[in-house]
Structure 1
Amino acid sequence: MSETSEYSEITYSVVDRIATVTLNRPEAHNGYTITMSDELADALDRADADSDVRVVVLTGAGKDFSVGADLSQGGFDFDAEQGPGEHWQEPAGRCSKRIFLMNKPVIAAIAGAAIGGGITITLSADYRLASTDARFGFVFVRRGIYPEGASAWFLPRLVGLGTAMDWMISGRVFDAEEAAGAGLVHRLHPRAELLDRAYELAREIIDTTAPVSVAVTRQLLYRMSALDSPLPVHALDSKLIGGLTSNADSVEGVVSFLQKRPPEWTLRVPEDIPGYLPWAGENRHEEET
């Protein structure tokens, strides 16, 4: 097990190829701050660059996942009179964008309240598992502010435009059953079992899937599914499939299946991701400049 101690508002640990990133302000119900946003982005950078990490689990310490922006902290990281610079990024988006750019799958394990930024930072995760007592709310209009974390892009893709309009225009808080029924949450578990189930899912991914294949598939879905034609997708598919004869993992996948044994993947992330992908080389720091 490895754990970092330099963070002040989150914790980061790696056990059995699973990186756990934990919001760690339980006394403030994990209220979201500028510091937390930047620490999350840094931790996600670290997990994505570490070829020994296969899956990230994002969770929160204490009763609630996150009640959203900690208004008691006040202000932003720019001078109020001068305003934000051209490249300033709002805090929730620093996290949700970094998850979007990930090559590793991210599982959000959400217990208790996930309100405002506390839910928008998870919308780009691959899975959202929630406790049966979880509560959600896109409450921005009830505070006179605006949706953030690129949630106006992510949310309709997850639950449909009609449900997204209802939740965002009303700003109402809703329960775990409604979230699961609409597709915001993949699965519900009793609070006491939630983190175990998240790790169980992470281990299934690690044990049964090829890391480079997962990385490419994750980005194919995000980058290509919104195009207005399948033709560019087919063109990229053709390039990927055409390279399978020289792909060690694809050979291993077939051989291990025929031999009825667990596969032994040798390609690593990020080192062995094809360099010709349209999004190759993107990362958080390049996006900021």
Structure 2
Amino acid sequence: MSYEHILTDLDNDGILTVTLHRPEAMNAWTMTMTKELVDMVEKADANDDVRAVVVTGSGERAFCAGADLSSGVDTFQSALIEDTDGLNNDDGTINWGHPGIRDTAGLFNLKVYNSVKPYICAINGVAVGVGVTMTLPMDIRIASDNARFGFVFSRRGIVPEGCSSWFLPRLVGISKALEWCYKGDVFLAQEALDGGLVNEVVPQEQLLNRAKEIARSFTQETAQVSIALTRQMMWKMLGADHPMEAHKIDSRAVYAQGQQRDAKEGIDSFLEKRAAVYTDKPSEHMPEFYPWWDEPDYG
């Protein structure tokens, strides 16, 4: 993968490291970065050699300092609207259903939300605005001891984006989510840890190695299809209104996976007291009912 505003590196363990790479601008978010990150998620999902994704930033000052504000207020005028045809109704009012009115962080976050790969975020410095909301659909967030966080939208006259009104309360609870968004201040890594936003805080020099260590713990002795299904079952069930919805999918998944090679290998390797060698791939061996949330009624 070759990009302008991000770097990618896939190691021999199947860990794809993605680095936001605008160090001269504290890795500030741009339209180019959006498109590249979306493309990265799509390509990582299609590549069975990618077992997990670690996202970090260039340098030691910032993970991502938020949106690039160099264009002034136009920054918030939905830069994704490249084709403005149909943006305004005949009476001059805005067509709020226009497909171009989509915030950029939301496009990336929805891609990650639907991904079949584990995502670990290594937050190596300042993460404010979109720099923090872009981390919310990732499975694990770890921070360096010099990281700082800020849901600063109320201090810029705008509102949280990146689907964060859905993600953030589920991660930290509604009261903490509102406290951080109401205040709009910048807080230290320890507060992020205490509030449940990050899983752990480590010294800056250990951050990336720790993120990769976590990634390998997810992938070295596990079945890829099991990981992919588990990720989607957990995330999608956050929106379920009854445990019966989880029971439906659990039942389908157990039945389907029980007929696959990986299940036989998992049992055989356990009984034979040896390491398992799983061969099923997400690109080929996801069960027939996947993705179940696209069905009109999966009951």
What is the TM-score normalised by the length of structure 1?
0.91
Query: Alpha-carbon deviations, 1:122-158, whole Å to 9, x = none?
Result: 1000110110111000000000011100001000000
Q: Could you say which residue in structure 2 is the equivalent of 1:46?
A: 43
| Greater CA drift, 238-247 or 143-152 | 238-247
Q: Could you say which residue in structure 1 is the equivalent of 2:210?
A: 197
Q: Is the 8 A contact 2:233 2:249 kept in 1?
A: no
Q: Could you say which residue in structure 2 is the equivalent of 1:273?
A: 286
Q: Could you say which residue in structure 2 is the equivalent of 1:285?
A: none
Unaligned stretches of 5+ in structure 2? 89-93
How far has the Cα of 1:281 moved from its partner?
7.5
> Which of these residues, 15, 19, 25, is aligned with residue 11 of structure 2?
15
Residues 17-32 of structure 1 aligned to structure 2 (within 5 Å): 17-32=14-29
Q: Could you say which residue in structure 2 is the equivalent of 1:286?
A: none
How far has the Cα of 1:18 moved from its partner?
1.2
> Which of these residues, 130, 138, 150, is aligned with residue 137 of structure 1?
150
The aligned length equals: 278
Residues 220-235 of structure 1 aligned to structure 2 (within 5 Å): 220-235=233-248
> Which of these residues, 177, 189, 205, is aligned with residue 176 of structure 1?
189
Change (3 A) 1:274 1:222: same
How far has the Cα of 1:253 moved from its partner?
1.4
Larger CA Rg, structure 1 vs 2: 2
How far has the Cα of 1:109 moved from its partner?
0.5
Counterpart-to-counterpart distance in 1, 2:110 and 2:210: 25
> Which of these residues, 260, 265, 271, is aligned with residue 258 of structure 1?
271
Counterpart-to-counterpart distance in 1, 2:284 and 2:36: 24
Q: Is the 8 A contact 1:103 1:216 kept in 2?
A: yes
SS, match of residue 233 in structure 2 = helix
Q: Could you say which residue in structure 2 is the equivalent of 1:161?
A: 174
Query: Alpha-carbon deviations, 1:30-60, whole Å to 9, x = none?
Result: 0111111111100111111101111011111
Counterpart AA for 1:39: E
How far has the Cα of 1:261 moved from its partner?
1.9
Counterpart-to-counterpart distance in 2, 1:85 and 1:158: 29
Change (3 A) 1:152 1:280: closer
Counterpart-to-counterpart distance in 2, 1:226 and 1:101: 14
Unaligned stretches of 5+ in structure 1? 283-289
Report percent identity of matched pairs: 45
> Which of these residues, 76, 81, 96, is aligned with residue 78 of structure 1?
81
SS, match of residue 65 in structure 1 = strand
| Greater CA drift, 241-250 or 118-127 | 241-250
How far has the Cα of 1:231 moved from its partner?
1.2
Counterpart-to-counterpart distance in 2, 1:19 and 1:281: 28
4+ runs deviating over 6 angstroms: none
SS, match of residue 57 in structure 1 = strand
Q: Is the 8 A contact 2:80 2:103 kept in 1?
A: no
Counterpart AA for 2:126: A
What do you get for the CA RMSD once the two structures are aligned? Answer: 1.9
Counterpart AA for 2:65: V
Counterpart-to-counterpart distance in 2, 1:66 and 1:179: 16
Counterpart AA for 1:277: Y
Query: Alpha-carbon deviations, 1:85-128, whole Å to 9, x = none?
Result: 71122111121111101000011110110000001011000110
How far has the Cα of 1:260 moved from its partner?
2.1
